[in-house]
Structure formats: structure tokens, C-alpha cells
Amino acid sequence: MFGVLWSEHCSYKHSKPLLRRLPTSGEFVLQGPGENAGAVDIGNGLAAVMKMESHNHPSAVEPLQGAATGVGGILRDIFTMGARPIALMDALCFGSGDHPRTEHLLNGVVDGIAFYGNCVGVPTVGGSVAFDASYNGNPLVNVLCLGIAPRDRIISSRASGVGNPVLLVGSETGRDGIAGASFASVELSADSEEQRPAVQVGNPFLEKLLIEACLELAGDEAIVAMQDLGAAGLTGAATEMVVHGGWGIDLDIAHVSRRELGMTPDEVMLSESQERMLIVAKRGSEERVQHVFDHWGLKSDVIGHITDSGLVRILDNGAAVAELPASFLSGGVEEFAAPDGMTPSPMPSPRGSSEPPFSPPDDLGAALLRVLALPNVCSRRVIIEQYDHMVQTNTVVAPGEGTAVLRVKGTSTGLALGLGDGGAVCAVNPRLGGALAVAEACRNVACAGARPIALTDCLNFGDPERPQVWRTLVDSVEGIRDACLALEVPIISGNVSLYNESEGEPIRPTPMLGALGVIEDVQRHARASIHEGQSIWLLGPLAASLPRSQYAMHVQGWTGGEPAGIDLDLERRVQECIRELVAAGTVSSATDVSDGGLAAALAELAIVSGVGIKGDGSWTTDPAGGRTDAILFGEAPSRIIVAARADRSAAAEAAAAKWQVPHTHIGVGGSEEIRIGHEIAIPVATARQHWAGGLEHLADGAGGQNAAS
């Protein structure tokens, strides 16, 4: 029990001192970190409940079940709070496309997410996929879940009340997943395949029943507390429920229903069998609570009761087999102390200073086609097609059509979800990478016309006992803090995943951020599309940075240089500007400029919309923007492409001037070509062919037959 609860996965002994640096309160926050998930007020008496979790190590050794049970676990974090899960998003990282395991891991993980989410009836409404050699042996599988609950029916996980019964409900307990928390707290090696028993096995159909039963009890005065059984199984759930209030708990494991014979007490306490919940009910209400679970065909066993002893006492048929102080078991592990004199690195200046060692190519059109086919830029349609994104009928903007937007039924409110991945820049400047991840996530929801009100994070790093890894963790958290404060968006929940290494090599530091935004009128939202005759504008700076760009690294083969920093005040103004333009109905099309740069973003708009772009090209030779390939393919934050009817161009310019946002007229929608001055002239059909086929050699999907859509 000490082994699992004092593991890094459960104790956060390295990251707790850093996480205390993050802002966690705000105008809309109802519940910050400390519960199963965070909750924010979205009006109309409703709360949005959100969290992101990782399932990296299990997915490395058993990708389908590892990813599937990652989905099951994050769903339980949400409905444990009394919220109905309405959306999933995934943030995935795999090794290089030519590595022998990448295809196996990618297809297994995607199959696992699709299997569990589709079967349980929760839509996967968006996500991200990144490829880099540092993930060759250790993929990242981060999953975000969003739920909705009446704000007065949110359930706590904090037990209380001497004599109140403790019920274990859901699946029977087996030997799958034993010591999974400990497995997640060590680096992967050649022997990791032997640890498949530490990977849980999921049953989404049973979880669907569990969702309905638990939500039926949400708000019932008979329910004192509810906690899902995730990492550390019964040991973790029981201890976490009583430790905060100074209570104790007595459990008799002889009453735990099992699906395997001969299980020992330690196996019962350490099993991480899925689809299980621990419930504390008011004394005398046991039969009524059990009747609800009986109605849904679920097991429910009274296995113990709450005490005032402050102890976690484990009995087996009345005989004590363990008796431990709850506070010491849960929080007695010593937190890591940073080396004396270690302070965060400074944030770099907003402009990069490295001059690339290559000249702009003669054929920029050919360069664009190569960029569009890169794994980090190309279409994700072959993956998206495997996910049901319309179940529950809340999805307003589908995957691949822009930022995910969902309706809140019975209201005019819309919710937007966005992701930010700081891995590429964190590899060379972790503080900047952390800030960029926050800015990207918030910019994504702003592109839909939403105001970001909360963030959830998933921090993926290597062995923190290595000084360099610890340094990257310190700097990344500080960068996240910088951006949260500047954009005034709090972190309400999250997860830290350390020891992401294989054969002694750490992954690149990868902070993943998920943002939740609110749209007052869901009818007024923007998506990534353009129409014939619309004027196309760039909000934000024209100049961009070539270092660490997809073009520089994977087309030109240059991995050096320092990327440009971020002007967080400009980022805030760009986001305010786009929200105002969407709310006023001035623009209905918006997309941020990210991997592949401005030219790739314009090409993707044309491909998705089936409408060409006629750019006059004057901006490609703007001296202030630098060299032409940097303008076209360089990458920088705080940039959004918008499209508006020609008669609304003046209003768009006025809003940009009001918010002091640089803006550039790019061109107009029309024709069957992507034309940018004299530099690029490519048929949309040709661009689509390159962009659509980038993952066909890796992802099974639907055989690639619909990848061009």
C-alpha cells in the first residue's frame, strides 16, 4: 500500500511544490485542483466539469487496452463529480514515421480510444497528434473529458460521518492492473513487455451502466461521497476519501466480489480493475442505494464503514491484515526539494535571432506541398473517421472543421474546447514552450468566438531525478504560470506524468493544455472555412520564426536556432479582437496559424472549404516580415486567419485597430488554385492529394479511402 501511494504517480512528490505556483482560482471557478476534476460556472444553474489525464506507460506495452482504459478512467473522474460526460478529446504523441513500432502503437491507441468512447456513447470531438523520435519507445496518450452537471448537485469525494457505510460498486475485482501506479512511475525498458499484467482491461458497456446509476444518485441526500477506483485501486480510493477530513475507514475485503479465485489481500487492495466506484452513503440508506445499482444490473457490496480513528484498517473476514495512519499513508512521503540556487530560466525575447544556414528554395510551391504532407501537418481524417463525434447530438463544429464547439441543451450557451502542445519548443526552451501551450489552447477557443474560462493540464516529462529533466519541468511550469496570469485563465485540474523514458532516453518535455471557453450565443461561432469572394486577413504579426518550424526541421533538415518568444500582451489583444469580431457577426471563419506556418494554414482552409485563394502576394515581400520562406512557413504565436464578406472588411480593420493588433490583407476566396503572388500557384486538388495522404502509410483507419474529405 505504501509502495503504490508513495509512488510518483500517486504522491506527486516531485511536482507538488511546482504546481502550487499555478493560478487556480477565478471568477467562474467552483472547484479547483484537489477533487477528481475541476468545475466552473457556465450559467443557467449549470457547471462544466473538466480534466485531462495520461495513460502513457500502459499504452506503450498494450496500446489498445492502455488507451481504452485511459478513456474509461477520465470518464469516471467526470461522472464521479455528478456530471454527465459530453465530450472527449485526445492529445497523442508517437515516434517518427519510419520507426518500426510507430504504426503498431498509433493504430492500437486510436483503436482503443475509438472502441471505448464509441461504445460508452461519449463523442470524441477533437484532438491532436504529434510525431517525434523522442517518443519512439514511450508514446503519450493524454485524454480530456468534459461533463455538465447542475451546479448544486456536484458530488464531493470527501467522506465523513462515523458509521456511514462504504459500498464498492460496479465491476468485480480481478488481478488485472495490479500495481499499475508503480508501473507508471518507472521508465520503460526492454523488460516492460513482461509488465502487461499491470495494464487494466476495460468494459465500456459496463461503464455506461455505471454512469447512469451514479448520475441517478447525484444530488440524492443518501450520498455522502463518491470516488472512482483508478490508480492504486481500492487502496487509493479508500485513503483519499478519508484523509482530507481526518476520518478513518475500516474495510473487510472478504465482502469484495471477485472474478478470480484465490486472490490474496494485497491483490484485492492493489488491483486496478476498471469500472469500479467507492461510495459512502448515509447510515440506513444502504438498501435504497443498492436498489439503484441492482436496477442497472450492477454489483454493489457493503465492504466497510467510516470511523473517527484516522486509520485505514484492512480486515479479512474480521481479522486485521493492515492498520495504517491515513494521513501518513497518503501524504507522508517527503516532497522533493529543488537544489539550492535553482531558479527558472528567463523568457526569451519575442523575436528569434538565429539566421538559417540555407537559402529560400526556388520553388516555394513544391516546398508547400512537402510541408502539407508532413506527419505533423497533414490531414488527420484517417484517424477522425474512427471516432463517433455526433453521439449525444451536442456537437456543433465537427473534428477537422475548426475548434470543437458544443451546444448546452436547453440554453443558448455554447462551449468550445481547444488544445495546446508545447513539446516542439520545450525541447529547446521549456519556459517558452509552457507559455506557448497555454496560449495555443486559449487561442483555439478564441477562434470559435469563445472566452476561455478554465484550463486543465497534463505535464509529460522524463525522470525528474535527472537534473536536466527537473530543470525542464521547473521552466515549463513557470511558462504555464506566465501565460495563465497574462491571459487571466486559471488551471482547475490536471495530471503529471513523469518517468516517460525508454532505454534511458527521456521524451522531449511535453506540457499539454486543454482550454474550455464559453460562447454566449452558440449560433454566433466561427469555424475553419472560407467562401467565394470573402476577404481574408491575418490578425497578428506577419513576421515569423524559422527555427523549430516544421519547414526548417523536416524540409530543410535544420534543427538548430532559437525560436521566437511570445508577447503575451499581444496574444491577449489578438484573442480579444477575434472574440469581438465573431460576437458581432463580422467574421464567421477563423483558424489559428500553427504547424506549417501561414502558407500551410491558408492551404488547409482552401482544401477543407473546396475554395481556392487568390493572394496578391505583396505581403510575401514585406521587408518587415523578413525572408519570403520565413513569412510563408515560419511559425510564431498570436496569429489568426479570418475571413469576412468584402462589405465587412472595414469593420474587421476597425476592430484590429481598436485592439492595436497588426493585420494584413492576404487576399480573397475564389478560383480552383491556391495562389500567393508569383511565388505559389497550386491547384487545390493537388494540395489536397498531398495533405490527405500524409498518414496513410501509418494509420489503418478506413483504408484511407475517405482521407481526402
Which residues have a catalytic role annotated?
9, 55
Strand (E) positions, 422-523?
Answer: 451-460, 491-497, 501-502, 505-506, 510-519
Q: Which of 317, 1, 277, 30 is nearest to 148 (CA)?
A: 30
CA angle 71, 505, 431 (to 5 degrees): 75
| 342, HSE (Cβ side, Cα atoms, 13 Å) | 15
Q: Which of 384, 85, 61, 124 is nearest to 218 (CA)?
A: 85
* CB distance 498 to 7 below 8 Å: no
SS3 604: helix
Task: State the CB neighbour count (10 A cutoff) for residue 650.
Answer: 11
The one-letter amino acid at 629: D
* CB distance 387 to 87 below 8 Å: no
Centroid of chain to Cα 14 = 21
Q: What are phi and psi of 255, to 5 degrees?
A: -95, 0
* CB distance 574 to 621 below 8 Å: no
Q: Which residues does 614 contact at the CB level (< 8 Å), separation at least 6? A: 667, 668, 669, 670, 671, 673, 675
Distance separating alpha carbons of residues 159 and 140, to the nearest angstrom: 33
* CB distance 285 to 222 below 8 Å: yes
* CB distance 496 to 442 below 8 Å: no
CA angle 443, 445, 449 (to 5 degrees): 105
Give the torsion through C-alpha atoms of 608, 609, 614, 620, to 10 deg: -40
**What are the angstrom distances between the C-alpha of 5 and each of 55, 175, 181, 183, 329?**
17, 18, 8, 12, 7
Distance separating alpha carbons of residues 352 and 548, to the nearest angstrom: 11
**Residues in the chain, overall count:** 709
In the sheet with 29-31, reading across from the earlier edge strand, the strands are 29-31, 38-43, 46-54, 140-150, 84-94, 124-131
DSSP string, 296-348: TT-EEEEEEEEESSSEEEEEETTEEEEEEEHHHHHH-SPPPPPPTT--PPPPP
Q: Which of 124, 101, 126, 115 is nearest to 68 (CA)?
A: 115
SS3 607: helix
Task: State the CB neighbour count (10 A cutoff) for residue 183.
Answer: 24
Distance separating alpha carbons of residues 123 and 387, to the nearest angstrom: 7
Task: State the CB neighbour count (10 A cutoff) for residue 366.
Answer: 13
The answer for 661, left when phi > 0, alpha when psi is -120 to 50, beta otherwise, is beta
**What are the angstrom distances between the C-alpha of 471 and each of 18, 57, 208, 464, 476?**
11, 22, 42, 8, 9
* CB distance 214 to 81 below 8 Å: no
Strand partners, 682: 674
